[in-house]
Amino acid sequence: MSDENVDLVNRFHRETFQHGNFSVGDELLSSDFRWHGGMGQGTNQSGPESVKQIASAISTAFPDREITHLETIALGDKVIIQWSMTGTHQGPLLGIPPSNKLIMVTGSDSFRIADGKIGELSQEMDQLDLVRQLRG
C-alpha cells in the first residue's frame, strides 16, 4: 500500500504544482480534503477547490518554477515529501507585485491517504523567508 500511496502523492504534487494541471485534484483528493498551512492562504483550507486556488497563485507568480523532491517517506497511510522550489517572481504573490527575483524555498508536505485518495495535507515552509526574498 505504501508504494501506491507514494505514487498517488507524487502524481498529485507534480501534476498540480509543477505542471499546472489543477483539475487533477478532482480525481485524487477526497471531497472532504483539508489543507493546513497552505502558502499564503491561511490554515485549514478545505476541498479540492482550495488546491486549485493556491496552485494557480503559485503558477502565476512563478511560471518558470522547478520543484524538486528531496526525500519521500511513506509509512502506512502517511506520505511525507521534503521539497524545494526555485523560480522567478513574475506575478503577484502574498500581496507583493512581481520583482523578477529568483527565489528558492524549501518545505515539507505531509499527506494522509484514505480510501485511495488524499484526505489531508499539512504543509510546513518558511513563508517569512519567501517574503524576504521577494522584497529583498
Indicate the pTM of the whole model: 0.89
Q: Are 58 and 16 in contact (CB under 8 A)?
A: no
Where residue 61 falls among pLDDT bands split at 50, 70, 90?
very high
CA nearest 96: which of 132, 54, 63?
Answer: 132
- Upper half-sphere CA count for residue 63 (Cβ side, 13 Å): 6
pLDDT in tens, 5-39: 999 999 999 999 999 998 999 999 998 999 888 66
Using CB atoms within 10 A of its CB, is residue 20 exposed (0-12), middle (13-18) or buried (19+)?
middle
Instruction: Tell me which residue of 51, 21, 18 sits closest to 34, measured CA to CA.
Output: 51
Secondary structure element (H or E) that encloses residue 105, with its range: strand 102-114
Cell 491561511 belongs to 42
Decide if pLDDT at 118 tops 60.
yes
Confidence of residue 44 (pLDDT cuts 50, 70, 90): low
What 3-state class would DSSP assign to 47? Answer: helix
pLDDT given at position 37: 80
The residue that leads in pLDDT, 45 or 73, is: 73
